[in-house]
Amino acid sequence: MTRCAALVATATVLLGGAAGTAAAERDEPVPYSYLAGLAAQAAAPGQPPPGANDWSCRPNERHPRPVVLLHGLGNETVTWQTLSPLLARSGYCVFTTTYGTGALGPAVGALAPVERSAAEIGAFIDRVRTATGAARVDVVGHSMGAAVPFFYMHHLDGASTIARLIGLGGPFHGTTVSGLAMLGDRVRDLPDAAAIVADCGPCQMSPGSPMIDLLRADPRLLPDTEFVGIVSRYDEIATPYTTGLLEGPNARSVVLQDVCATDFSEHYGLTSDPVAVAEVINALDPERARPVDCTVVAPLLGPLAPPVEHGGVR
């Protein structure tokens, strides 16, 4: 058994092996744990998370724009086992897709060059807009899923289609990956490395690289879109964590530990972290924003006590 498979199997046992199924039931609590996402992926590989991709869904007066959820490096739609059902139960039309796949198979996304990933994201947003009749969408992106939309907006005529971009651990200004990016820079000098690097989106995200200049992750250049950057000081992938902060009159940044000092979530836990999730829900509907509750949150495992309801849902 591979190390990854063992981790997934362990998570499935620890979490009862039915996280995805349980979350699909409207009265069941959703999982607030990265391991729960792994268990759900093992139970239903390749399937969208509960609440997502109902192509008959139509936006309503309270939530007039569909929400598009974009995963990060090495993940797929399973990233959204927490936010997808929460948003769907609150009345949002929720959609997600696996983009940027490559040699590692259809369940491992955000690996392709940024240019290709951005085009795939744009095509999916167009599909959502056509199906729902909405002119614009709100995007919640994790990691690469937060950064790539900047390329789409600047270079693929996407600025008019995204009303709000909420990033969770987005490497907007490049990432050192806790020092591993330096190793990647050395690999580029090896024979035959050029072809590999050319087909690798994450390899484009080193600070100061040409792609970072192309992303132009400055909200002031996109005044018709609202931006929120949500980060954790304990992020080990988007480093330094300040790479996920955004500035401008149409931007707001949230450091989780400034909201809740006992939140120890790292990069992969951001999409299920109860504090981050509450901040996303508030950012999507700021007129109905509610106070965010603080609890002890462990890396990967999630909150040590069940989180309270936020936005009318668990």
pLDDT digits (tens, 9 = 90+) for 46-77: 789 999 999 999 999 999 999 999 999 877 77
Residue 37 lies in a domain: no
- So what's the pLDDT on residue 12? 36
Residue 22 lies in a domain: no
Residue 3 lies in a domain: no
pLDDT bracket for residue 194 (50, 70, 90): low
The encoded tokens of residue 278 equal 């509450």
CATH number of the domain enclosing 128: 3.40.50.1820
Q: Is a pLDDT exceeding 50 seen at residue 37?
A: yes
- So what's the pLDDT on residue 312? 44
pLDDT bracket for residue 180 (50, 70, 90): low
Residue 99 lies in a domain: yes
Summarize the confidence of residues 77-101 as an average pLDDT: 93
pLDDT bracket for residue 103 (50, 70, 90): confident
Residue 255 lies in a domain: yes
Contact 8/49 with Cβ under 8 angstroms? Answer: no
Residue 231 lies in a domain: yes
Residue 162 lies in a domain: yes
Mean pLDDT check: name the lowest of 89-98, 106-115, 136-145, 302-311. 302-311
- So what's the pLDDT on residue 105? 74
- Report which secondary-structure segment, H or E, holds 298: strand 297-298
Percentage of the chain with pLDDT > 70? Answer: 82
Residue 299: give the domain boundaries: 47-303
Q: Is a pLDDT exceeding 60 seen at residue 4?
A: no
Among candidate residues 63, 70, 223, the one with its CA nearest the CA of residue 134: 63
Contacts by 124-130 with C-beta closer than 8 Å and gap 24+?
124/68, 124/95, 124/97, 124/99, 125/68, 125/152, 125/158, 125/161, 125/162, 126/161, 128/66, 128/68, 128/95, 129/66, 129/161
Q: Classify residue 40 by its DSSP letter.
A: H
Domain count, the chain: 1
Residue 17 lies in a domain: no
